[in-house]
Structure 1
Amino acid sequence: MEKPTSSMEDDSNIDLEDRDPNRLNRHIQVFWEEVIGEPEGVRSPECAWRLSRHCFRLSKGCCYVLLTVLIAPLLALCLGLTFACLAFEHVWCIVPCLRVWRITCSSFRNFWTVLVQSVVLPFTEALGYFFHNVRVFSQKPPDAQERKDDIHIV
């Protein structure tokens, strides 16, 4: 049997431009214009605005690069181990146990279905025929003003 190839795991076809093709991090807004905005009425001097924007971009870029170079490989190793353990757990433990449970419970389900259809269903249908002409009316007596509604069954 031929091994299926996954374009997601193949390093030779990695897209270095679009690094979030599934849009996992759309909620993260990190551009200056998405984080800082001065409304009308409060304005900093233009030189302070430009310097602040430049400091923001430079510090964000340098800090991100430093963190990704130092911490990202270790974190990627931990995440790889975590997802490998998770995949192992699902493939070798959870799915087979669920399959055993489903096979074991199928005979009980068949027994329960037969019991319900042969005993409970006729009984509830008979009760339905017995009570199908019952009508319930709710009205307030003319002399009582603060009493709850009386229920009359006819």
Structure 2
Amino acid sequence: MAKEPSDVMDLEDRDPNKLNQHLQVSWEDVIGEPASIRSPECAWSVSNQCFKLSKNFCYVCLSVVCAPVTAFCLGITFACLSFEQIWCRTPTLRVWKISCASIRNFVAVFAHAIIIPCTSACGYFWSEIKVKTHAISGDVDEKKDDVLLV
């Protein structure tokens, strides 16, 4: 029986969706010496090897010990999240959409019957106001209590 393509795990490309591109932890990404100050080549090489070995060893140990438990917990977490979304949030949102439809219709009728005529009348009233400005020769006596200066 042949396995489906989705059932076969790619052991080479373990981040096909590029979730952790930001995670740059190689020696060159973490350590860099400027040209103005340098450690001896032997110290640089030994430090590079120590960094790589300790990082890889620690990561393997943590992966072996913690990854299965973490994967189990994450599986449960995403199962609960999916259940909540599928069986709780989406139906509740649908109930709200149905319930609010009648309120939306009431608000639309109210707006067309009362608000739109009132705002149209106010707009017509204010559109008939004409403002003319004239330059005043001399000093204008401005006070801080003045609300409108024309």
Report TM bin, short chain: 0.7 to 0.9
SS at match of 1:30: coil
Count matched residues: 144
When residues 68 and 121 of structure 1 are mapped into structure 2, their CA distance, relative to the original with a 3 A threshold, is: same
Structure 1 runs (4+) greater than 3 angstroms displaced = 133-142, 144-150
- Residue 107 of structure 1: CA displacement? 0.5
Identity %: 53
Q: Secondary structure at the match of 2:73?
A: helix
Map Cα deviations across residues 51-108 of structure 1 (whole Å, 9 max, x no partner): 0000000000000000000000000000000000000001000110110011001001
Q: Are positions 1:104 and 2:102 aligned together?
A: no
Give the Å deviation of 1:131.
0.1
1:30 aligns with 2:25: yes
Paired residues of 1:137 and 1:151 also in contact (CA < 8 A): no
Q: Which residue of 2 aligns with 1:72?
A: 67
Which residue identity lines up with residue 102 of structure 2 in the other structure?
S
Helix, strand or coil at the partner of 1:134: coil
1:132 CA displacement: 1.0
Q: Which has the higher contact order (CA 8 A, sep 6+)?
A: 2
> Equivalences for 1:22-101 in 2 at 5 Å?
22-101=17-96
Deviation at 1:136, TM superposition (A): 5.8
- Answer 1 or 2: which has greater strand percent: 1
Give the conservation status (yes or no) of the 8 Å contact 1:32–1:57.
yes
1:122-144 superposed Cα distances (whole Å, 9 cap, x missing partner): 11011001001335688997525
Distance in 2, matches of 1:50 and 1:146, equals 79
Gaps of 5+ in 2: none
Cα RMSD (Å) of the superposition?
A: 2.5
5+ residue gaps in structure 1?
A: 1-5
CA distance in structure 1 between the aligned counterparts of 2:83 and 2:44, rounded to whole angstroms? 52
Change (3 A) 1:137 1:151: farther
Q: Structure 1 length normalisation: TM-score? A: 0.83
Letter in 1 for 2:78: F
Q: Distance in 2 between the 1:95 and 1:110 partners?
A: 23
